[in-house]
Chains A and B, each alone.
Chain A
Amino acid sequence: MSQETQAAMLHDCREAFADTLIALARDDERIVAVCNDSVGSSNLAKFKAEFPDRMINVGIAEQDLVGVAAGLANGGLIPFASAAAPFLTGRALEQIKADVAYSQARVVLCGQSPGLAYGELGPTHHSIEDLSWLRAVADLPVVVPADPLQTAQAVRWAAANPGPSYLRIPRFPVPDVTPPGALFQTGRALQLTGGNDVTVIATGTMVSRALQAAESLGQEGIQARVLNVAFVEPLDHDAVLTAAVQTRGIVTAEEATTTGGLGAAVATLTAQHQPTQLRILGVPRSFAPTGNTTFLLEYFGLTADHIAAAARHIMAHATR
């Protein structure tokens, strides 16, 4: 396959986010968008064109963005508060905690361009801490879709969910990984491949890489189970513990720091209930060097090759 054909099969999930939001807004006038001067980067220009009054721009003011969204929810609307993930979650973390999660305000927090998506713009613009920060906040689902179809599902789920949620919308182009007809249920992981040798638990942009890893492992006779965990919170305990029982170990992969995200969640769960071999792939507790996203993912070992290597390592050290 040519590079051009491959590129054409990769998608930026923001389009699915924006199109789904517009479709929902046509049917439900409670849906409004709130942004911090990020009409362009949140891909909300079409929304604004169709619903000019329902596009609230608070300017460059993330604390205000989240507080205003909580107020809109108090008034009976369903606000999608959208901003670049590092600023939404970092600058407004206390608003997310107090005004949204603790107050149980029906706000959908939409973190755009998360993880290492901003590449060369550097660590100020990377959002690798968001999963750790928001996992620490009670009563707030943390949702990371893996492709356009799942992004659309996540947006619909969030709009229908009676409480708050955080959606982490991938920007780094990804291939389709979600089978048509796949369900999207609160706190449920989606098993993408069967296999009882080893498990790869991945989220967001890492899911397609986990599938590539499973394919190459399969060629070596290693059957890998791939779980797509869109709900980092609440985590699918059954799926994780079953994998810990049925396979020889678990590799986790996420475009986020390993201090408190998906890998940490899986580790906490398995360590207490079903200890197993674990390899946690993500960004270590360090600020990234200069480089584009592709380079940085390679630099931090977030590729199909690295995932496969971690799985082989588990197989080599298996005691059962």
Chain B
Amino acid sequence: MFPEIWRHLFKKRATVLYPFERLKVPKDLRGKPVFDEKKCALKCKGACAIDCPAKAIVMEKIDEKGSRPIFLLDRCTFCGQCAESCPFGAITLSEEFELAQYDRKSLVSKQW
């Protein structure tokens, strides 16, 4: 016991003083979905919305050409299935994970 106590007297503090210091997140952390409207072809019938397990994508009709997705971040589980199902690669998951807001309406993410 005493060697243990002696060792712990000289150890560095393990706590990270968040939000002034932050831990480094690994590459490819699954964070907020990012939508690239140039790649979205509009004409698929919403492959991202069909496969979302949490029903967090709602398709909004633009005109008769097709529809684009709106992400409901309060339902999203950040699984990444929408990025895999999109046949044109228009959705990627970024590394942003600090997404808390004060009210639910600010979590509706329309990125076009």
Q: Do A and B come from one complex?
A: no
Residues of B within 8 A of A (CB): none
